[in-house]
Chain A
Amino acid sequence: MTSGRALREVVVQAAHGAAIEARTGEHLIVTDVDGQQIGDLVAFNLDDRTEWLDMVRTRSTLYRLRLRLGDRLYSNWREPILELVEDTVRIHDLLFPPCDPKRYAVTWGQPGHRNCLTNLTEALAPYGITMWQVPQPLNLFQNTPVLADGRLGSGVSPSRAGGHVTFRALKHVVCAVSSCPMDLTAANGWMITDLKLTVRA
């Protein structure tokens, strides 16, 4: 579908984060290299860092918790910032925050565990974005549906090796993705693996 020339590519090492830039009209492809790996995705407008990909506005503009092909994803200014143009997995989460140091320290007694908030912060540091500016991510390939009683389910990611999503950038953005290091639940199939970020024309 997106057969444009690959312009940039970066591997997100297992349990780490990485960033990549996409200009308006370019395509960002996030690939689950080995399968069952959640990727926390955030994006900032490089022309105005007070604008970012906002799961809250995306939900409350689409009036949905699930993405469909062709959906525009919205920024905190409720402007389209990404468009979903390809999706081989179709299970993503728009509700969870990134896992963070305190979650591992308090709940699991594992201070110092790698976590998505730190991964995203590290990846975005060169852009002058600090930890408390990291918004709620789009949790790609994460299987945590709302249950009938309002609790959030905790399923294993259904994504298979090579599973991917493609977004068209509707603004000039830097995207950061964290390979979610959660290895204390089944979320990532008990194995943390690489993701790949590709930008095509």
Chain B
Amino acid sequence: MSDTGIGREHEVQWGEVVSEVTVPAGHGRAFEARVGDHIIVTDLEGAQVGDFVVFNADDLVEVLDTARTRSGLTPMKVEVEPGRVEAYWQTSVYLHVGDEVSSNMRNAMLKVITDTVGVHDLLFAPCDARLYRDVYNHAGAHRNCLDNLTEALAPYGIRSWQIPAPINVFQNTPPQPDGTLAVKPSVSKSGDYIVFRALQNLVGALSSCPMDLSPVNDRRITPLRLTVRRGWR
């Protein structure tokens, strides 16, 4: 049983553990999930961002799409004035419990089931070698989420340029009124987690973001836990 506060009662809610891996600090790991499985990302020590991507395992051309997720997957009709109904989407730059996460083909890939943090990012790219070199003037190599995700997904034949913009779980980079993007320390605490339900058969990966030159990880890179549970009732 995991030591993260997710106990036996969650076997009913989210099913039995079918895979569980600790993503080492600053590295990446892949996972597979079937329709209906729950994918749980746990921040073991707190303030650790995870870059999370998914591909449709049955058709790797279909990938997570944060842009279509922001623009709203589920249409809702709103009566804007008596007798006049217009269609809207629940657009948002944030992720909420109950939201469906869209693919590039505007299909639902994931649903957010539970979230003990409530602060995630749908706007940023994975950090990459050039970010450290060109923006942070870091000399020499630096671990980065793009390489982590690419390494983790290499066994599936996925190339780096196919890696989509991730859901940056636990990342606290909200847009400001002047249009800039703030870079703040993650507010997640040790044992915090987010639970997604797979709505497709998925191949995915999670990177423990190695960014130690900005405040996002509170200057300390730590491991994450990636759990897949199956057979909930």
A interface with B by C-beta (< 8 Å): 50-51, 54-57, 59-61, 63-66, 76-79, 95-97, 100, 102-103, 106-108, 132, 136, 146, 148, 150-152, 184
Which chain A residues lie closer than 8 Å to B125 at the CB level? 54, 56-57, 59-60, 78
- In this complex, what residue of A is CB-closest to B127? A60
- How many contacts A-B (CB < 8 Å)? 89
> Which one of B19-27, B42-50, B89-97, B184-192 is at the A interface?
B89-97
Which chain B residues lie closer than 8 Å to A148 at the CB level? 177
Contact of B70 among A50, A63, A96, A108 (CB under 8 A): A96
- Return 30 A-B CB contacts under 8 Å, by A number: A51-B161, A55-B67, A56-B123, A56-B165, A57-B125, A59-B125, A60-B123, A61-B131, A61-B135, A63-B180, A65-B175, A66-B179, A76-B161, A77-B130, A78-B130, A78-B131, A78-B134, A96-B71, A97-B68, A97-B71, A102-B105, A102-B106, A107-B87, A132-B62, A146-B179, A148-B177, A150-B174, A150-B175, A151-B90, A151-B92
Query: Which 9 pairs, one residue from A and one from B, show the smallest C-beta to C-beta distance?
Result: A66-B179, A107-B75, A152-B91, A78-B130, A97-B67, A56-B165, A102-B106, A60-B124, A136-B67
B residues 45-92 near A (Cβ < 8 Å) are 61-62, 65-68, 70-71, 75, 87, 89-92
**A60 engages B134 (CB within 8 Å):** no
Which chain A residues lie closer than 8 Å to B70 at the CB level? 95-96, 152
Q: Take A64-B180, A66-B179 as given contacts and tell me if A59 and B130 are in contact as well, using a CB distance cutoff of 8 Å.
A: no
**A107 engages B89 (CB within 8 Å):** yes
B interface with A by C-beta (< 8 Å): 61-62, 65-68, 70-71, 75, 87, 89-94, 104-106, 123-125, 128, 130-131, 134-135, 159, 161, 165, 174-175, 177, 179-181, 183
Which chain A residues lie closer than 8 Å to B67 at the CB level? 55, 95-97, 136
